[in-house]
């Protein structure tokens, strides 16, 4: 039976996408997120396609029926209903072909590792399901079904990112005339929520003396101890120090290239006199290699686990993480009341979500940040020199195998 306006008004979201059928192939799609979308399936040149007529109640039942009738009229004359007036027909694109074109258009702005993960995710979870299907004919129900399979592996964050990637591909397809809508967009509200993430362990300010005392007696590699001390003073991310090269450092300034930053924006780190002294010693230890922390081969930097292993050997397994020094610094700097929040956030390399300028000013608040970093290093020194407030942290035997602690 044809739909009534009362049925459209009364429709309520459920766990799965609902399809309320009208006449002429027209139906109202009710998403788990509460959207009510007018859709119509039709075939053109032997291919299944889906037309979108807007959302209810912005588009009334009567208007949706009128648009469905207009679509039928176009089909009767041999015209593709998806084309605008005067627009030339474009060849149909499979979802995989559309994804490949989208990937090529954006690959240059991604680092190779990230680009590889994006494609691998699509290749494993999406292409086997809808890769060969016309991108214009993919339905929200099909997208949700493959996302549910990913969620059922307990990969909730991956499912969320996969939906975002697919949505970007569909929007790219709409812009190129290969599709008329993004069937992944209304599914955001249907995704399962991931459990709250456990924050990485971070030291409180009153625990810093014990940390520096343990660091002073560290029995491992001297460069690793200095690396941890640089992290404590500058609170950069592990990868930013691990991949650092000497050409990035010029006197009292460290310029980290955009390609090494999480947000793909150049980052300036003012270096206090104390940190400059640490880098000077590290340069003496670097054996003439381009890396601040060279690995055993000199052609590569130290491994990803070197610094965290250093913390574990100091007795800080589960008590502190390398990344946690960022949280420690943020808490201390914000609670001091001496520095503007914007300056602190910039020094943490947090780019605001509403940042719309194409050229991000890496030197923003630089003079204030320079004073702030000098103040912070002085504070670290005071904690290093104060008397202990507790028993020293027991360090591990240097021969201890640490792979078990990392789940290896």
Reading the block at residue 238, the tokens are 């592990």
Check: CB of residue 103 under 8 Å from CB of residue 134.
no
Catalytic residue flag (residue 237): yes
Q: Residues 98-101: contacts with CB within 8 Å, 24+ apart?
A: 98/135, 98/169, 98/172, 98/173, 98/176, 98/178, 98/179, 99/126, 99/127, 99/131, 99/169, 101/172, 101/176
As a whole number of angstroms, the distance between CA 37 and CA 31 comes to: 8
Catalytic residue flag (residue 350): yes
**39: DSSP letter:** E
237, 242, 313, 383: which one is catalytic? 237
47, 262, 340, 382: which one is catalytic? 262
Catalytic residue flag (residue 209): no
Catalytic residue flag (residue 43): no
DSSP letter string, 343-371? HHHHHTT---TT---SS--TTTTHHHHHH
326, 346, 369, 370: which one is catalytic? 326
72, 133, 264, 323: which one is catalytic? 323
Catalytic residue flag (residue 287): no
What are the start-end ranges of the H helices in 259-305? 273-285
DSSP letter string, 199-259? PPP---GGGHHHHHHHHHT--S-HHHHHHHHHHHHH---HHHHHT-BGGGEETTEEEE-GG
Residue by residue, what is the 3-state secondary structure of 134-187?
EHHHCCHHHHHHHHHHHHCCCCHHHHHHHHHHHHHHHHHHHHCCCCCCCCCHHH
Catalytic residue flag (residue 262): yes
**23: DSSP letter:** S
Q: Is 4 helix (H, G, I), strand (E, B) or coil?
A: coil
Active centre residues (catalytic): 237, 262, 323, 326, 350, 360
């Amino acid at each position: 039976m044809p739909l009534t306006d009362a049925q459209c008004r009364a429709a309520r979201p459920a766990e799965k996408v609902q399809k309320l059928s009208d006449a002429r192939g027209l139906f109202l799609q009710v998403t788990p997120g509460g959207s009510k979308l007018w859709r119509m399936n039709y075939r053109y040149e032997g291919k299944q396609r889906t037309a979108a007529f807007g959302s209810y109640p912005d588009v009334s039942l009567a208007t949706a029926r009128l648009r469905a009738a207009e679509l039928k009229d176009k089909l009767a004359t041999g015209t593709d209903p998806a084309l605008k007036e005067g627009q030339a027909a474009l060849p149909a694109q499979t979802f995989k072909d559309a994804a490949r074109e989208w990937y090529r258009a954006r690959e240059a702005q991604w680092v190779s590792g990230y680009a590889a993960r994006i494609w691998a995710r699509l290749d494993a979870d999406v292409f086997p399901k809808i890769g060969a299907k016309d991108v214009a004919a993919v339905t929200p129900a099909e997208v949700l079904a493959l996302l549910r399979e990913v969620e059922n592996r307990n990969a909730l964050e991956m499912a969320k990112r996969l939906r975002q990637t697919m949505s970007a591909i569909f929007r790219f397809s709409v812009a190129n005339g290969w599709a008329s809508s993004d069937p992944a967009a209304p599914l955001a509200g249907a995704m399962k929520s991931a459990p709250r993430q456990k924050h990485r362990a971070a030291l409180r300010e009153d625990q810093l003396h014990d940390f520096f005392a343990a660091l002073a007696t560290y029995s491992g590699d001297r460069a690793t101890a200095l690396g941890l001390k640089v992290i404590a003073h500058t609170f950069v991310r592990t990868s930013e120090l691990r991949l650092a090269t000497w050409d990035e450092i010029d006197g009292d300034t460290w310029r980290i290239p955009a390609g090494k930053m999480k947000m793909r924006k150049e980052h300036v780190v003012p270096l206090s006199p104390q940190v400059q002294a640490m880098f000077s010693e590290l340069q003496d230890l670097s054996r003439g290699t381009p890396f601040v922390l060279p690995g055993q081969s000199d052609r590569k930097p130290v491994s990803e686990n070197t610094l965290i292993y250093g913390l574990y050997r100091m007795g800080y397994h589960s008590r502190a993480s390398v990344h946690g020094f960022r949280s420690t610094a943020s808490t201390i700097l914000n609670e001091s009341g001496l520095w503007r929040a914007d300056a602190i956030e910039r020094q943490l390399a947090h780019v605001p979500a509403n940042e719309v300028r194409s050229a991000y000013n890496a030197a923003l608040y630089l003079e204030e940040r320079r004073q702030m970093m000098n103040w912070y290093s002085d504070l670290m020194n005071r904690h290093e020199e104060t008397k202990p407030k507790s028993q020293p942290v027991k360090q591990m035997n240097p021969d201890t195998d640490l792979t078990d602690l990392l789940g290896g």
